[in-house]
Amino acid sequence: MSTSKNRPRKPYLDPMERARRLSNYIRLLAFVVAATILMAGVGLQLYPSHYLLGVAGLLAYPLLVQTLVVVGQRKDLLPEHFSPVVMQLDAAIIGVACALLHFAVVPSLVLLIIVHANAVSSGGLRPWLLNVLMTLGGAALASLLLGVPPTPTTVPLSVSVLSLVGLGLYVGASSFYANRQAQFLRQAQIRVREQQQQAVEMSRKLAKYLPPQIWGSLFSGKRDAKLETRRKRLTVFFSDIKGFSAISEELPLDTLTRMLNTYLSEMTRIALRHGGTIDKFIGDAVMVFFGDPKSEGAQEDAYRCAAMAIEMQQHMRFLRQRWQREGITQKLEIRIGINTGYVTVGNFGTDSRMDYTILGTDVNLASRLESACRPGQVLISESTHELIKDRVRCRNVGEVTAKGFSRPIPVFEAQALKRNAGGKQRFVSVATTGFGLHMDLERIHNVDKNRILKALARSASDLKKRKTVAVDFETEGFALHVHSESLPDRDREKVLDVMGKAAAKIQQQVRL
């Protein structure tokens, strides 16, 4: 036995298409009213019997027009192309119907109300004026052909009542159509909102696979998804975690996954804050470049890259303290290499699958510098050093021999931003047994200032009173770890001094 589940589903009809079909039925009703009135007049012998041909014509006309409309749609003609023409033809045919009725007052007024109300509601003032002309033209032509007398024919009350009943049916059907059209419109709006929501959700998912700069350029129309490349001067960054392969074999899978995702999330956040374009992740390795799709000039691009790299090295101290609390005892340190030069940047691949990336010798050099770098260092090339030496404190570390390069490469270590020198140092990082304090003054939010000061004050007060202290406090730009039972007595005064100086820096440099 078949059930409702096994019945074939009806094909989905667009709400506007359903409204269009209902509109056709309303048009048919208008000509049915005209044909009925004329038929009643012939039946009462008000009009000659051959006027029944007019009845047949009034019924056949809308069916013929609808057939032509369907043929037009199959030839990719939109309803908007022929709807105005059909509206004017309707007016001319109603004019003919008025002539067939010998311009009887009530029946003719009923038909004129029907056709012209439809013209006003569907088209507006100008189509309605043309509608009036077409009605007059149709009536005049039929009058000449049929020899209709110029004076209106008087009809019995029954015909007038029938005409008014027809008008009432048409008005009721039109009201029903308007109500259904409003429902269809609401359904269409709901469907559009659902599709928009689906598109937004899909966009959010796809955005995770593209750099934000490229995603924004594509959506704004500034960039097209096509195979194209160009030569451009960029600053290229490579980093990786020293000894990550060995560490990954020692850690449980869930711990390794959590640690790597945390690391990549934090490095991504720093890169985006400095305006870098993240090219790709290769395991624990990160590749970033500055200067495309937006560039602030070669010097500024190189400076932002160096500032990003220094902040990443500083932020690793936050992460190491967090991982240590989670039981990851391995000392995780990153190596960073930076180079500035002309590279080929753009979309590589095929029309169906492309990758936005960079290629060239200067890209390879940045990778070689990262491999030659010691853990915890930021190694930069001479070309990058020339661009940033006035704003970043660097140290000459000699030359390195890089694979693929015939001559030794002069290199420098980027150590700190000169604006953070001396008392204005933004990074503070101190760690010993039972204690760790790391802060980045530029990243501390003013809304967190009082919470941080209270945590420092409470911990310092308890340490002075020799109370047991177990604090693991972390917020944006600040981390405090105090375990008094593990803290050696010889370090207690130094720890209190560090906490006091940290509180003073926060009090002075972080504004509410």
Longest CA–CA separation in the chain, Å: 125
8 A C-beta contact, residue 365 and residue 339: yes
Work out the pLDDT band at 411, boundaries 50, 70, 90: very high
Whole-number average pLDDT of the chain: 84
pLDDT, residue 489, reads: 87
More confident residue, 228 or 64: 64
Query: Closest Cα to residue 211, out of 292, 301, 284?
Result: 292
pLDDT, residue 367, reads: 93
Quick: pLDDT tens for 35-54.
999 999 988 988 899 889 98
pLDDT, residue 394, reads: 95
pLDDT of 4 > 70? The answer is no
Characterize the bridge pairing of strands 478-483 and 470-475. antiparallel
pLDDT of 327 > 90? The answer is no
Work out the pLDDT band at 402, boundaries 50, 70, 90: confident
Quick: pLDDT tens for 446-479.
889 999 999 999 999 999 988 999 998 888 888 8
H or E segment to which residue 62 belongs = helix 52-74
With a pLDDT cut of 90, the percent of the chain lying above it is 29
Q: Phi/psi class of residue 154: alpha, beta or left (left: φ > 0; alpha: ψ in -120 to 50)?
A: beta
CA–CA separation, 476 vs 474, rounded Å? 7
Quote the tokens at residue 298. Answer: 């070669």
For 223-238, give the DSSP string.
S-SS--EEEEEEEEEE
pLDDT, residue 12, reads: 46
pLDDT, residue 423, reads: 52
CA–CA separation, 293 vs 128, rounded Å? 55
Among the residue ranges 21-30, 52-61, 108-117, 222-231, the one predicted with the least confidence is 222-231
Query: Closest Cα to residue 130, out of 91, 165, 176?
Result: 91
CA–CA separation, 246 vs 248, rounded Å? 5
Residue 406, classed as helix, strand or coil, is coil
Helix axis angle for 52-74 and 79-100, nearest 10°, is: 180
Domains assigned to the chain: 10-191 (no CATH), 232-423 (3.30.70.1230), 427-509 (no CATH)
Quote the tokens at residue 184. Answer: 């269809």
Q: How far apart are the first and last CA of the chain?
A: 75
**Positive or negative, the Cα torsion across 26, 27, 30, 31?**
negative
CA–CA separation, 70 vs 47, rounded Å? 35
How much is the average pLDDT of 194-222?
68
Quote the tokens at residue 97. Answer: 């119907």
How much is the average pLDDT of 284-305?
93
How much is the average pLDDT of 179-203?
80
CA–CA separation, 418 vs 394, rounded Å? 10
Cα-trace Rg, the chain = 41
CA–CA separation, 151 vs 512, rounded Å? 92
Quick: pLDDT tens for 155-189.
889 888 998 998 888 888 878 777 877 777 788 78
More confident residue, 223 or 484: 484
